[in-house]
């Protein structure tokens, strides 16, 4: 199992590398404008901790491979369009359920470590 290496985004800047197991990725998203780094990598069992990296979201997604894109659902008004797309690993999903009893305008994606993410309807192809 080869580990993937990314440049960790820290403040102040430091030459730390982040080495991850691509099979442990839950999802990847762009950093919000108020955060450091360009992309955020969420890993299995990490809870609310995140890994901010200096590489672009496109670079991270391409390096990991096999991720599915969807539009993230926010209960509050969403941030700018740059951070509304989330890329997740289907192999680490436990189950997906619609927002019921209301119309399923979004879906809950539950990962094998118990963490959860909401995505906008319709589900991406392959789920």
Q: Is 68 exposed, middle or buried (0-12, 13-18, 19+ CB in 10 A)?
A: middle
Element holding 96 (H helix, E strand): strand 93-98
Tokens of 71: 């539009």
For residue 98, the surrounding DSSP H or E stretch is strand 93-98
Distance, in Å, from the CA atom of 11 to the CA atom of 27, rounded to the nearest integer, reads: 23
pLDDT digits (tens, 9 = 90+) for 44-81: 998 888 899 999 999 999 999 999 999 988 776 655 65
Enumerate the domain spans of the chain: 4-120
List pLDDT tens digits, range 8-25.
998 777 777 899 999 999
In whole angstroms, what separates CA 34 from the centre of its chain? 17
CA 106 to centroid of chain Cα atoms: 17
């Amino acid at each position: 199992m080869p580990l993937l290496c990314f440049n960790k985004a820290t403040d102040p800047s430091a030459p730390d590398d982040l080495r991850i197991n691509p099979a442990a990725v839950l999802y990847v998203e762009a950093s919000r404008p108020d955060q450091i780094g360009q992309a955020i990598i969420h890993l299995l069992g990490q809870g609310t901790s995140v890994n901010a990296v200096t590489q672009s979201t496109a670079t991270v997604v391409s390096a990991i491979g096999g991720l599915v894109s969807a539009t993230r659902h926010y209960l509050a008004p969403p941030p700018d369009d740059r951070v509304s797309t989330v890329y997740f690993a289907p192999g680490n999903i436990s189950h997906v359920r619609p927002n019921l009893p209301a119309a399923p305008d979004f879906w809950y994606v539950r990962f094998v470590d118990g963490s959860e993410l909401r995505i906008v309807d319709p589900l991406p192809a392959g789920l």
